Amino acid sequence: MKVKWKLLFPAILSAVSMLGGCQPQEPAGSSAPVTSPASSTPSTAGTADAAGSDGSASTYLSDTLAELHVMCEDSASAPLLVDSETIKYVEEYLNVKIILEAVPSASYADKKKVLISTDNMPDIMKINLSDLRQFAREGMFVNLSENKERLPNFFTVLDQNPDIYKLSIDGEMFSFPTMRRPSAGDDPNGQQPVIRSDLIKEYGLEYPDSFEELYEVLKVFKQNRPGSIPLTNRKGGNTSGTQKVLDTMAYPLGSGSKMYYDQDIGGGQYVYGPAHENFKEVLRYLNQLYAEGLLDPDYATNTSDIWKEKMSSGKALMYFDNTGFRMDFEAALKTLEPNATYDVFPTMENSFGQRRNFIFEQHWSNSHYVVASSSENIDLALAYMDWSFGEQGCDILNYGVPGVHFDKINGVPVMKTSVWDAFIAAGSNGPSYDLQSKLGIGLPAFTPYVDVGASELMKNYMLDGEAAERSEATAAMNRADTGLRRPVYDPPLSQEDNERYNQLLSAVENIVVPEFDKYIMGLEPIENYDAVIERARTAGAQEMEDIFNRANEAYQ
């Protein structure tokens, strides 16, 4: 019967579709192919990137929102924010979410080693040179030289800085060293002496020209301010206070705190400082200061915060460290002593007649970003890293969101002054650090290719007329200072050499490091240090120097 079917059919259909409609949709597949990164074409006008624009498909590095796990060392000065402006912007623009794990410096070394050793690395990780040399050959990190075609920006930058190849392993790059893009405001500076220039004037002194003179100046300071600490220091990230003092002052004093290249010894060779004769002078000098209370008695245990506190409160009068902090300290100190000023002064002559000091290396050769071989997002990680070495990536990671935080004027990124104003107005001690922290830009953040313009120029910006002049004067002074030298990188070592070197280093350090304080504090007469040198040499310091010097020749 026709009618019967006509009736039943739609009924059955409707019933089936009702039941079928209850089925949930299958979720879309998770991983998607990675598109090629945006090429680094310069944007001509500042309006090219509209404020807060969403990344279009063309800028996406990934079709679906992908995650990259990154582990970095947290800086005490500018703590890493997991939801900084840049990270948020990158998520929109590149469709990549950077999941940042910031590990405090004190714990970083161990955590890092554990993760690498147990093959539990995040996609991208920050390591130092020795980690790189130790683990690269084990295949823990992606071989970048093999992926040259995927990293055009990076290799372009490398070609502009061939020295970086010293950081290669057997001729191949396994890491993205933190590198510096030349920019305005990037004047050479380093760990230089910074002193209370107002007191110099007040006590009718001159800037010390030699370390001898410095000793005298500090004595005057102490006399006039009995309760103060003329020279103070801080701990390094993972180094002790002692090590930091040596790191900053050993070279200017004629030696070095570890293995370094000394142009003045033997026509130029690698020397393990603490196992060298000249090191005695360093210890002697420091002891001299310590004995007379001119060096902070707590130098060994000062934390970074404590150091800042002392410098900002007028307790301490001089430091030998990163000059960048001086403006912050001066600003804070001015509330207590309105006339206080901190100034850098030129490199001093040491007892060997040398005038020398390291300025900061152009790049940060001890800071490397590696992509884990075991990562599931290698393509994306490489794409992202290469993007960060491109012009656009470098801009964003160092200046913030285009149009919101900076504009591109004549091809140069220029930070908006309104942004600077906001952070200055917040009234903290280190507005430039706050800026970098909040925006997630610059050296303290996850930035492989650094442009210090944003923070450095900010410091200039914060200065009013007189201060700006002073800043410029300092820059000019530095430029004219012949004693300032860029450090030389270690030569690349073969696996064998690297192993041997590490082995020897641990033995040697075990001998020398516990001795430093004894001599600085004067618990041992300086003559006894010869014995230490002897022991160190025997234990392997000589061999270590040989390894380096051999490798250096081979590299040349």
Partner 1 sequence: MRELYRRLTSERRAMPRLYFAILSFFLFLVLFVFILGMGVYNATLRASKAEFEHRVAAGLSTIWERTDSEILTMYETGRNLLENFYVQEHLRPYTQINDEQRLVLFKVSKVINESKRLLSSTDEIFLYLDDHKVYTSDGIADFSSYFSSIYCFENIPAEFWASQREQTAKLTVLSPVQVYRRYSGTNRRVVPIVTREYVNGWRTVTVISLDIEKLCRPLERGMLYPSSRFAVLTSRNELAFSNMEQEQLQEISPLLTEETGTADYATISGERYFVVSAVGLSGWRILLATPEEEFRRVNDDLLHLIFLICAVLILFGVVLSFVFAYLLYSPLRNIRYAVLNASRTESQSASLAQVEREVTDLVQHYQFLRDSRQNEAYFAMQAYLLYGLYGERPQQFLELLAGGRFSHSSYAVAALCVQFKSVFRDQPEVTQEVMLQSIEILVEKCIPYPLFFIEFGNHMRAAVVNLPKGDMGAVLDGLDTISHILEHDKMYLRCFFGVSSESDEVNDLQRLFDQARTAMEYVERIGGQDIVCASQLRIRHAYFYPFAQEQQLLQYLKAADMKNLQRLTTELLNQNLETPVLWRSIRSLIQAMLGTAQSYFSDEAASLPDFEYVFYSPSMCYHMLIDQYQRMITRMGDAQDTSNIAIDYIRKYIEEHYADNLSLTELAERAGYNAKYISRLFKQYIGYHLSDYINYVRIQKAKEFLRDPSLSIAKIQELVGIPSYTTFTRVFKKFEGIPPSRYRQLEQITRSEGAVELDWEDTKEDRSE
Task: Out of 261, 433, 449, 529, name the contact with partner 1 by CB under 8 A.
Answer: 433
At CB < 8 A and 24+ separation, what contacts does 142-146 make?
A: 142/174, 142/370, 142/371, 142/372, 142/373, 142/375, 142/378, 142/381, 142/382, 143/172, 143/173, 143/174, 144/172, 144/173, 144/174, 144/175, 144/176, 144/371, 144/382, 145/171, 145/172, 145/173, 146/172
Nearer to partner 1, 76 or 378 (CB): 76
Smallest gap from residue 309 Cβ to partner 1 (A) = 5
**Radius of gyration for the chain, computed over Cα atoms and rounded to the nearest angstrom:** 28
Contact criterion met (CB below 8 Å) for 260 and 487: yes
434 contributes a contact to partner 1 by CB under 8 A = yes
- Tell me which stretch binds partner 1 (CB under 8 A): 148-156, 431-439, 453-461, 505-513: 431-439
Task: Out of 86, 257, 304, 471, name the contact with partner 1 by CB under 8 A.
Answer: 304
The token pair that represents 134 in the structure block? 């130790």
Smallest gap from residue 303 Cβ to partner 1 (A) = 4
Smallest gap from residue 532 Cβ to partner 1 (A) = 15
Binding map of partner 1 across residues 28-67, x = CB under 8 A, - = no contact: ----------------------------------------
From the list 76, 169, 171, the residue with the least C-alpha distance to 130 is 169
302 contributes a contact to partner 1 by CB under 8 A = yes
309 contributes a contact to partner 1 by CB under 8 A = yes
22 contributes a contact to partner 1 by CB under 8 A = yes
From the list 189, 182, 183, 180, the residue with the least C-alpha distance to 471 is 189
2 contributes a contact to partner 1 by CB under 8 A = no
Task: Out of 15, 51, 336, 412, name the contact with partner 1 by CB under 8 A.
Answer: 15
Smallest gap from residue 291 Cβ to partner 1 (A) = 10
Task: Out of 3, 28, 425, 480, name the contact with partner 1 by CB under 8 A.
Answer: 3
Secondary structure element (H or E) that encloses residue 89, with its range = helix 85-94
Smallest gap from residue 23 Cβ to partner 1 (A) = 13
The CA distance from 312 to 314, in Å, is: 6
Contact criterion met (CB below 8 Å) for 150 and 112: no
How many helical (H) and strand (E) elements, i.e. helices and strands, does the chain have?
20, 16
From the list 381, 353, 298, the residue with the least C-alpha distance to 70 is 381
Q: What are phi and psi of 478, to 5 degrees?
A: -65, -40
Nearer to partner 1, 55 or 237 (CB): 237
Smallest gap from residue 342 Cβ to partner 1 (A) = 16
Binding map of partner 1 across residues 102-141, x = CB under 8 A, - = no contact: ----xx----------------------------------
Strands 269-272 and 364-371, bridge-based pairing: unpaired
Q: If binding means CB under 8 A, how many residues of this protein chain bind partner 1?
A: 44
Nearer to partner 1, 153 or 304 (CB): 304
Q: How far is CA 249 from the centre of its chain?
A: 19
The token pair that represents 544 in the structure block? 């270590």
509 contributes a contact to partner 1 by CB under 8 A = no
Smallest gap from residue 112 Cβ to partner 1 (A) = 13
Contacts of 245 (CB under 8 A, 6+ apart): 233, 286, 295, 299, 320, 520
Nearer to partner 1, 15 or 51 (CB): 15
What residues between 217 and 256 interact with partner 1 by CB under 8 A? 235, 240-241
DSSP, collapsed to helix, strand or coil, labels residue 142 as: coil
Contact criterion met (CB below 8 Å) for 228 and 317: yes
Smallest gap from residue 4 Cβ to partner 1 (A) = 5
Residues that bind partner 1 (CB under 8 A): 1, 3-4, 7-8, 11, 14-15, 18-19, 22, 76-77, 79, 106-107, 235, 240-241, 297-298, 300-306, 308-310, 313, 315, 428-430, 433-434, 437, 517-518, 521-523
